[in-house]
Structure 1
Amino acid sequence: MRAAVAVHEGGPAALRLQTLPVPTPGPGQVLIRVESAAVNFSDVKRRRGDAYPFPTAFPFVPGSEVAGTVTALGPGVSSVALGDAVFGLVGGQGLGGYAQFALAQANQIGPRPPMIHPDQACGLTVAGTTALLLLREAARLQPGETVLVSAAAGGVGSFLVPLALRLGAQAVIALVGSPAKAAQARALGATATVDALAADWHEPVRALTGGRGVDVLLESGGGDALAQGLRALAPFGRAVVYGAASGLDARLDAAALKALFYTPAPNQSLAAFNLGGWFMERPQVAGTALHELVGLVAAGQLPAPTVQPLPLTQAAEAHRRLESRETLGKLVLKPWVD
């Protein structure tokens, strides 16, 4: 089978197309013929050699979620059948979704509703579930509140904007890096957009809220973005960090921490979010969120994510686009397309 392999730690060029043997499913596993493989920023971090959430030994096949068809069953599997259209998590034993076939634990995949295209289904588990858990569980969004979404035209952001409105947000301010991304965010329902490349973007955010600030900040940029975001946070506001797309860890100096906690304490809170922790420590909550999300998309009550499909041969290009923040919506690799 063809696979895109991270042969060593490094930049996008570390991804090389190779021919590997088709894996055999073990107990509790299924083999999936991959039609669509989602490209997530966690793939980039692992290719860089980051411990996310733990180091991955090289060489390995990236990719944590796919959509496809079940082609083989391991011993003891009865929850799915040969030929079932499924989507879900893969990536154990260093064999991820950037390949024509991938192994999955049978309890980590689910049936793909026929009205959801594989390109869209493959991104539901990570991006979609992250968005719903961020809003409902981590940020505890309340009806009538204002939400600021960073990278609002990206994979997670494309879910956050409409979900926040569905959960009762009064306004959703989208932080974006280009006019095309601003248009995408507005199409998703964003109330207003703010240029993420502006030097002091917290000022227009505060102006849009009459000087009060936002109730919820969902931050994924890293670097100085968190410090700026906290300056746009309202009293009793909640900031949740769920990524560092810039490749830079979030930076907070002593002055920012003092303003947050001590002078005078504005009753704000700062939290971190990692989806893997929810599936490991609170699987029932995470699974319920995913089930709800799939139902909303299948019923047409939530927009299906915008996707940018690329052939598997362009896996390195997909990573380059993701790192340079050139993407609109979700990048998807197509292993059987030349």
Structure 2
Amino acid sequence: MRAIQITEFGGPEVLVPTDLPDPVASGTALLLDVDRAGVNYADTHQAENSYLAAASLPLVPGAEVVGRLADGRRVVSLLAGGGGYAQKALVEPALSFDVPDGVDDTTALAMVVQGASAWLLLRRSAPLAAGESVVVHAAAGGVGSLAVQLAKAWGAGRVIATASSEEKRKLALSLGADVAVDSRAPDMTAALREANGGKRVDIVLDMTGGRVTDQSLAALAPFGRLAFYGMASREQPTPVRPASLLSHSTTVAGMWLAHAFLLPGDVLRPAIAELFGMVLDGRLRAVPGGEYALSEARLAHEALRSRNTVGKLILDPSR
């Protein structure tokens, strides 16, 4: 089969197309013919071995695939150990979800990682109460574009989107954001308060890091929550002091999707079912961010790292 294999860590240049033996199903694993593979920002960290979970070489990256099993079922699957950038992948039934008719491949892939992340952020990490203000950084991205829609659908009083270009800010507004802020604003604290009518904000969803995290934390209202789920800037924020949280009655939460597998019960299955239901009734849509041939995986990573992309990026293993 054709696949992308990493034999040394680094930037997009380490994503090398190659021929590998087909994976062999064993135990509970099932063999999936991959129709499309999802590309996530976390994949760029995995390629350089800067992700939360250390990687080992050689490595076929990719955490999500959609395709068909031998019995003809169309499923979208999470891959705990990678292997998605390939024409075939081994999937576990516990991490595979039937895709309803009417849900296309791009949407299915968007829901299983980025949609589930947005769901967990707003349901678990920083639970949204009706009428609260929600800041969504990187609002045109994969998680952000879905979080804007979910926050609005679930009763947010004001959704404040941040994005780096006029085009991205217009997209966020079209998805339901009430106001869009330039993510390059020199004083994000002031920009967020101004966008919220001069008031501090209740919830911030942040995957940027660095000064954006620091200044967003300073913009929180008493009992406000900041949910941190990525560090696209690759810049560490200032360490948070517990005394500072106490003095402002604020909460900082981290969220890594992998930990959802450790929760009691099957948390992700009803979450993804709810997301698919919202897609089918028109309350939620994935934003296509571009389809690349499998052989162009390097270009997809370059696009992600440039931070000029929107929505969901996918690979076509047939090319």
Instruction: Please give the TM-score of this superposition, normalised by the length of structure 2.
Output: 0.95
Q: In structure 2, what is the Cα distance between the partners aligned to 1:183 and 1:6?
A: 37
Q: In structure 2, what is the Cα distance between the partners aligned to 1:305 and 1:38?
A: 13
Q: In structure 2, what is the Cα distance between the partners aligned to 1:315 and 1:157?
A: 22
Query: In the alignment, is the contact (CA less than 8 A) between 2:5 and 2:15 conserved in 1?
Result: yes
Partner AA of 2:279 in structure 1: V
Aligned to 1:313: 295
Q: Which moved more, 1:277-286 or 1:197-206?
A: 277-286
Percent sequence identity over aligned pairs:
38
CA RMSD of superposed structures (Å): 1.6
Matches within 5 A, 1:24-63: 24-52=24-52, 54-63=53-62
The one of 269, 276, 286 aligned to 1:294: 276
Aligned to 2:148: 161
Aligned to 1:109: 96
Aligned to 1:275: 257
Say if 1:157 and 1:51 are closer, same or farther in 2 by CA, change over 3 A. Answer: closer
Deviations 1:82-104 (A, max 9, x none): 11111111253xx5110111110
Q: Are 1:84 and 2:77 counterparts?
A: no
Say if 1:68 and 1:208 are closer, same or farther in 2 by CA, change over 3 A. Answer: same
Query: In the alignment, is the contact (CA less than 8 A) between 1:91 and 1:104 conserved in 2?
Result: no
Say if 1:282 and 1:176 are closer, same or farther in 2 by CA, change over 3 A. Answer: farther
Query: In the alignment, is the contact (CA less than 8 A) between 2:42 and 2:51 conserved in 1?
Result: no
Q: Are 1:185 and 2:167 counterparts?
A: no
Q: Are 1:243 and 2:200 counterparts?
A: no
Q: How many residues align?
A: 319
Residue 2 of structure 1, CA deviation: 0.7
Q: Are 1:232 and 2:214 counterparts?
A: no
Query: In the alignment, is the contact (CA less than 8 A) between 2:23 and 2:88 conserved in 1?
Result: yes
Deviations 1:247-280 (A, max 9, x none): 22222477xx76x335xx2211111111111122
Q: In structure 1, what is the Cα distance between the partners aligned to 2:38 and 2:110?
A: 5
Partner AA of 1:89 in structure 2: L
Deviations 1:17-37 (A, max 9, x none): 001111111121111111111
Q: Please give the secondary structure, in 1, of the residue aligned with 2:230.
A: coil
Q: In structure 2, what is the Cα distance between the partners aligned to 1:237 and 1:307?
A: 32
Q: In structure 2, what is the Cα distance between the partners aligned to 1:61 and 1:69?
A: 20
Residue 246 of structure 1, CA deviation: 1.3
Q: Please give the secondary structure, in 2, of the residue aligned with 1:301.
A: coil
Q: In structure 2, what is the Cα distance between the partners aligned to 1:304 and 1:330?
A: 7
Q: In structure 2, what is the Cα distance between the partners aligned to 1:296 and 1:179?
A: 28
Instruction: Please give the TM-score of this superposition, normalised by the length of structure 1.
Output: 0.90
Residue 311 of structure 1, CA deviation: 0.9
Q: In structure 2, what is the Cα distance between the partners aligned to 1:238 and 1:46?
A: 28
Residue 51 of structure 1, CA deviation: 4.5
Residue 283 of structure 1, CA deviation: 4.6
Aligned to 1:138: 125
Gaps of 5+ in 2: none
